[in-house]
Amino acid sequence: MIFIPAWISNTLLLVACVLAGVQHVRLKRPNPVTNIQFVMMVFSMAMVLVVAFYNQENPWLSWAFFLIGAGSLAVIIRQQRMMPPMKPFE
């Protein structure tokens, strides 16, 4: 099994966090804590810490972290595509 470095998983998770933050700011919901964007931001940042501490030359665990990062990025990209279009004079 091939070991995946922690920086690859952390990059995927950080990109997912940034995209979730952009969506969170654009939506401007009345209760900003109870939506998937906020949950994904918190989850991504927590997973960055978990990957940084527990990714120690274990190929199975590195693959699990990579798949979690890729899956969270896929969810956020799907949410980005479902966003309402921006109005030109907002």
* pLDDT tens, residue by residue, 44-85: 999 999 999 988 878 899 999 999 999 999 999 999 988 888
Say if 46 falls within a structural domain: yes
Say if 88 falls within a structural domain: no
DSSP string, 15-70: HHHHHHHHHHHHH--SSTTSSHHHHHHHHHHHHHHHHHHH-SS-HHHHHHHHHHHH
Owner of token pair 């990109």: 15
Say if 41 falls within a structural domain: yes
Which range of 3-7, 11-15, 29-33, 82-86 scores highest in mean pLDDT? It is: 11-15
Say if 26 falls within a structural domain: yes
Count of structural domains, the chain: 1
Please indicate, yes or no, whether the overall pTM of this predicted structure exceeds 0.75: yes
Which residues constitute the domain of residue 55?
Answer: 6-81
Say if 89 falls within a structural domain: no
